[in-house]
Amino acid sequence: MRNMKTKVRIVNGDGPDTDYQEAAEILKRGGLVAFPTETVYGLGGNALDEDAAKKIYAAKGRPSDNPLIVHIAGMEALDELTSNVTEHAKKLAERFWPGPLTMILPKSEKVPLGTTGGLQTVAIRMPNHPVALRLIRQSGLYLAAPSANTSGRPSPTLAEHVAEDLTGKIEMILDGGMVDVGIESTIVDLTEDIPVILRPGCISKAMLEEVVGTVTIDPAVNGPKKDTSFKPKAPGMKYKHYAPKADMTIISGEREKVVETIRLRAESATLKGRKVGILATDETVGLYTEGTVVSIGTRKEEGSIARGLYKILRDFDHLKVDEIYAESFEDDTMGAAIMNRLCKAAGYAVEHV
């Protein structure tokens, strides 16, 4: 159902108060407001109001057992929202907040199960974006906010992406322009002695380890199967997340072989009358001759790749391509997070050449 009037307000961190007041009023009434964070746009509602959580799930078409991240603007919220602020949590908050790190901790009584998907833990993050922080402060609330996309679509890096998915379903969108990071926050589970990364992001394992010692990575991060040799597309769509509409394949291996393979695939698909999209980089974009070739960014600055990725996946949807081929990225700091999102988009269809 898209029968609600969705207001769009262009804002920045130090603009007039009126837009923030209006947005805060909506949130206090239990309504939904999408807002920019440094990672991706979030769909915000009062985190302590189960009915607001229900509205979030409905607007996104998201299963209600998938918990929401609670966004805060001050450290004192940690004591209020969790039953045990561990030493690790204190240190990580000191070092990385505000910033793209989400911590999983045991929840306090105040946090409703409707927000945590029935779990006794809560995900908390202090975003590093002036609009997000000001909105949280103005509302006097904690904001439950998943990425502001329809469930299963790429996360929004522009307000236009939010409008595309959620117009008519939410009350307001605060348009703060293009986000900075472009992929979602790193999620670290601090409920056991050794922290576990549940979702890689631009705060890497090594960066976390500098603060808290050994950190492990949840095996599920690498997809449904361990084997890295050729994989058919995951049979269950349940593993497909940030999905474009086209069939997507990641080609990994030595750079030259990757380019050669993608060239051949694009050629044969085009001959069959299929529309092809190629996810290239500044370093390789000139080497492809067939299909719609787009550079996501430069390998010299992987931040640019993270920033551009979701927009390009959405652009390919608009261009109605049938097949997408993507180059792969190294398993280093940002590369690990980029590969994780690419793999999810491709339903783990990775081919080694």
By CB under 6 A, tell whether 221 contacts ligand TXA.
no
Question: How far apart are CB 42 and Mg ion at their closest, in Å?
Answer: 9
Does 56 interact with ligand TXA (rule: CB under 6 A)? no
- Indicate the DSSP class of residue 38: S
Q: Which of 6, 19, 34, 42 binds ligand TXA (CB under 6 A)?
A: 42
Our finding on whether 104 is near ligand TXA (CB under 6 A) is: yes
Q: What count of Cα atoms within 13 Å lies in the side-chain half-sphere of residue 120?
A: 4
3-state SS of 86-136 is: CHHHHHHHHHHCCCCEEEEEEECCCCCHHHHCCCCEEEEECCCCHHHHHHH
Alpha-carbon distance of 271 to 56, in angstroms, equals: 44
Q: Which stretch binds Mg ion (CB under 5 A): 79-87, 119-127, 147-155, 193-201?
A: 147-155
Site for ligand TXA contains 156 (CB under 6 A):
no
Q: What is the dihedral angle through the alpha carbons of 307, 312, 318, 322, rounded to the nearest 10 degrees?
A: -150
Helix (H, G, I), strand (E, B) or coil at 192: coil
Q: Which does 68 bind (CB under 5 to 8 A by kind): Mg ion, ligand TXA, none?
A: ligand TXA
Among 187, 234, 313, 339, binds ligand TXA (CB under 6 A): 187
Stretch that binds ligand TXA, among 46-54, 76-84, 184-192, 324-332 (CB under 6 A): 184-192
| Site mask for Mg ion (CB under 5 A), range 271-310, x = bound | ----------------------------------------
Cis bond leading into 98, ω under 30°? yes
**Closest to 166 (Cα-Cα) out of 135, 145, 181, 180:** 145
Contact status, residue 28 vs residue 21, Cβ threshold 8 Å: no
Contact call for residue 186 and Mg ion (CB under 5 A): no
Instruction: Give contact residues for ligand TXA (rule: CB under 6 A).
Output: 37, 39-40, 42, 66-69, 100, 102, 104, 116, 119, 121-123, 125, 127, 145-147, 184-185, 187, 198
